[in-house]
């Protein structure tokens, strides 16, 4: 089984993906992490991506397709996986279907996390992560708060914020999402693959109903 997560920025895709990975053995592919990997490498592509992300803009579709395809080919695709943050537009949905088809796969389910801009902004401004183990926390929402102030619970190092986690960048990304990604929701709804969940509730509560809808049981499907 492979799943697509569709949601505005900071809707909880990473949180839900982490829970499915931990409890049911799914692989998690984050388009944002794929891009940040390129930035960390310091390549020409990475420098271009870094500039685009800092402006709150979207990366070129052809580049995204190439990066996602390369990432998928590096994985064991017999293990169920989740795609987080891609596709964002109709043409990307078509690109992704082409990638999966070339690998002998199809999109099985699409999970849409419904959330309002105000809630998302609060999450973004409070979001911090560990530079070592990459665990994410939030210092504003009351959920997943670090136990020791601004230090990682696991590594005991200072937590950091993402450079694109600003009010201006978030509002721009949210508006782009509403314009470009909303049609993707209808696209998959018409295919009968869409599952809608409430992103404002506690993740564990929502996960219980989600796994029933997905038909997930003990890490298999």
Is residue 153 included in any domain, yes or no? no
pLDDT value for 94: 97
pTM of the prediction? Answer: 0.75
Domain that holds residue 68: 2-115+174-202
Do 176 and 59 form a contact (C-beta atoms < 8 A)? no
- Alpha helix segments (H runs only) across the chain: 13-24, 31-41, 44-54, 61-73, 90-102, 117-126, 167-180, 182-190, 203-214
Of 93, 69, 70, give the one whose Cα is nearest residue 6: 93
DSSP bridge pairs for 131:
none
Is residue 189 included in any domain, yes or no? yes
The model's pLDDT over 32-84, given as tens digits with 9 standing for 90+, comes to 888 888 888 887 888 888 888 777 777 889 989 988 998 999 999 999 999 98
Is residue 97 included in any domain, yes or no? yes
Name the burial class of residue 16, with classes exposed (0-12), middle (13-18) and buried (19+) by CB atoms within 10 angstroms of its CB.
buried
Is residue 159 included in any domain, yes or no? no
Do 2 and 71 form a contact (C-beta atoms < 8 A)? no
Is residue 131 included in any domain, yes or no? no
Is residue 26 included in any domain, yes or no? yes
Is residue 139 included in any domain, yes or no? no
For the chain, what is the domain count?
A: 1
The total of other beta-carbon atoms located within 10 Å of residue 169's CB is: 19
CATH of the domain at 73: 3.40.50.300
Is residue 49 included in any domain, yes or no? yes
Q: Which two tokens stand for residue 80?
A: 């169920």
Chunked into runs of 10 residues, the chain (221 residues) has average pLDDT values of: 89 81 88 86 83 79 90 92 91 96 95 90 90 88 83 94 86 86 93 91 79 68 45
């Amino acid at each position: 089984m492979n799943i697509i997560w569709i949601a505005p920025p900071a809707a909880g895709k990473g949180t839900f993906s982490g829970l499915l990975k931990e409890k049911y053995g799914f692989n998690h592919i984050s388009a944002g992490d794929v891009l940040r990997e390129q930035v960390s490498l310091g390549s020409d592509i990475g420098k271009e991506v870094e500039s685009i992300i800092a402006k709150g803009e979207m990366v070129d579709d052809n580049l995204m397709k190439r990066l996602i395809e390369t990432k998928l080919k590096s994985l064991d695709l017999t293990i169920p996986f989740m795609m987080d943050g891609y596709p964002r537009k109709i043409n990307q949905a078509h690109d992704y279907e082409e990638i999966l088809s070339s690998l002998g796969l199809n999109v099985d389910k699409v999970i849409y996390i419904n959330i309002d801009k105000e809630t998302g902004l609060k999450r973004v401004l409070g979001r911090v992560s560990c530079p070592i183990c990459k665990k994410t926390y939030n210092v504003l929402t009351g959920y997943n708060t670090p136990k020791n102030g601004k230090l990682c619970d696991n590594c005991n190092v200072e937590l950091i914020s993402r450079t694109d986690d600003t009010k201006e960048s978030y509002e721009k990304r949210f508006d782009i999402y509403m314009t470009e990604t909303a049609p993707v929701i209808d696209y998959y709804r018409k295919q009968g693959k869409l599952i809608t969940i409430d992103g404002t509730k506690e993740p564990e509560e929502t996960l219980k109903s989600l796994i029933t809808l997905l038909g997930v049981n003990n890490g298999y499907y």
